[in-house]
C-alpha cells in the first residue's frame, strides 16, 4: 500500500476509477444540498476543520511518504502543482477570510480538480496510499470552495474573472522559473503529463500554451456563471446596496 514502486498501474475508467467518480457525484450532490441551504453555517466549524484536516494530512503525508520510500526529488515532489496551490490557498481561507484571495481560489478550485478526477495523472492503482490521497484531496477542493463561498458570504463580480486570470499567470511565471531550476513540469507548463489526461488534446509548443490560456478563460467564465447561481439573491442585493 505504501510502496514506492508501481505494483499495479491505474487504468483510466476502470472499475476503481468509476467507483470514485460515482462517489464524487454523490458527495457533490450532498454538498450542494447542504452548503447552499439556509442555516447550514450552524455547523460551519465542523466543516472548516474537516476540510483543513484533509488538506493538511494530504500534503504532509505526501511529502513524508515520498521521502520515506526514497523517491522524493525536487522535479516531482515540490507542492507546486495547481491542486497543491488550491490546497494551500483553501487552508488559508478556512481560517482567514479574504475576498481577493478567494476570487483566485474559487476559479482554480472548481473545474481543475474535476478535470483531474476525470483523467487522473495517476500511476498507483487501488488500494495504494497515493490512490486514496489523490481522490480524497481532489474531491475536497471543489467542495471546500462552495463551502467557503456560502460560509463567508462572498459574491463574484465579473471583474473577479480578470483578477483570477492575472494572478494565475503571475503564479505561472514563478512556476516556470521553478521548472527551469528543477527540471520539473509543475502546472504542466512544459507539456501534458505522460499519462492520458485532458491536457493531451492541446499538442505541444506555443499552441499548447495558447490552448491552456484559452481553456482557462472559458473555464473561469463558466465557473463565474455557476458561482453566481450559488449566491443567494438577498446577498447580492445587500452587497449592491
How confident is the model over 83-101, as pLDDT tens digits?
A: 998 999 999 999 999 999 9
What would the pLDDT profile of 112-126 be if each residue is shown by its tens digit?
Answer: 999 999 989 898 999
What would the grid cell of residue 197 be?
489526461
Q: Tens of pLDDT along 119-177?
A: 898 989 999 999 999 999 999 999 999 999 999 999 999 999 999 999 999 999 999 99
Residue with cell 484536516: 53
The separation between the first and the last C-alpha atoms of the chain, rounded to the nearest angstrom, is 55
Give residue 40's pLDDT.
66
What was the pLDDT predicted at 241?
Answer: 35
Q: In which residue are the cell numbers 507546486 written?
A: 80
* 9 phi and psi angles, rounded to 5 deg: -80, 140
Kindly report each contact of residues 101-106 with a partner whose C-beta sits within 8 Å and lies 24 or more positions away, as own/partner: 102/148, 102/149, 102/152, 102/154, 103/156, 103/160, 103/163, 103/164, 104/163, 104/164, 104/167, 104/168, 105/145, 105/148, 106/145, 106/148, 106/149, 106/154, 106/156, 106/160, 106/164, 106/223, 106/227
At CB < 8 A and 24+ separation, what contacts does 231-234 make? 231/149, 231/154, 231/155, 231/156, 232/38
Average pLDDT over all residues of the chain: 89
pTM over 0.75: yes
pLDDT bucket at 210, cuts 50 / 70 / 90: confident
The answer on pLDDT for 194 being more than 80 is: no
H and E: helices and strands count for the chain: 10, 0
Alpha carbon distance 209, 86 (integer Å): 21
Grid coordinates standing for 126? 487501488
Domain positions in the chain are: 15-240
Amino acid at each position: 500500500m505504501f510502496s514506492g514502486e508501481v505494483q499495479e498501474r491505474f487504468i483510466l475508467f476502470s472499475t476503481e476509477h468509476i467507483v470514485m467518480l460515482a462517489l464524487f457525484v454523490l458527495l457533490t450532490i450532498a454538498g450542494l444540498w447542504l452548503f447552499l441551504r439556509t442555516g447550514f453555517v450552524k455547523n460551519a466549524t465542523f466543516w472548516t476543520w474537516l476540510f483543513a484536516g484533509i488538506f493538511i494530512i494530504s500534503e504532509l503525508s505526501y511529502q513524508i511518504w515520498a521521502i520515506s520510500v526514497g523517491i522524493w526529488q525536487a522535479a516531482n515532489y515540490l507542492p507546486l502543482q495547481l491542486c497543491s496551490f488550491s490546497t494551500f490557498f483553501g487552508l488559508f481561507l478556512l481560517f482567514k477570510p479574504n475576498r481577493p484571495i478567494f476570487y483566485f481560489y474559487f476559479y482554480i478550485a472548481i473545474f481543475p480538480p474535476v478535470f483531474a478526477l476525470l483523467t487522473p495523472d495517476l500511476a498507483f492503482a487501488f488500494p495504494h496510499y497515493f490512490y486514496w490521497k489523490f481522490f480524497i484531496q481532489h474531491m475536497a477542493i471543489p467542495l471546500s470552495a462552495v463551502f467557503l463561498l456560502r460560509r463567508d458570504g462572498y459574491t463574484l463580480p465579473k471583474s473577479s474573472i480578470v483578477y483570477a486570470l492575472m494572478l494565475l499567470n503571475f503564479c505561472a511565471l514563478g512556476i516556470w522559473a521553478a521548472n527551469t531550476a528543477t527540471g520539473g513540469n509543475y502546472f504542466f507548463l512544459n507539456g501534458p503529463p505522460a499519462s492520458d489526461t485532458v491536457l493531451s488534446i492541446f499538442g505541444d509548443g506555443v499552441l499548447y500554451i495558447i490552448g491552456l490560456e484559452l481553456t482557462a478563460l472559458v473555464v473561469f467564465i463558466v465557473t463565474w456563471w455557476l458561482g453566481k447561481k450559488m449566491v443567494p439573491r438577498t446577498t447580492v442585493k445587500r452587497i449592491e446596496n
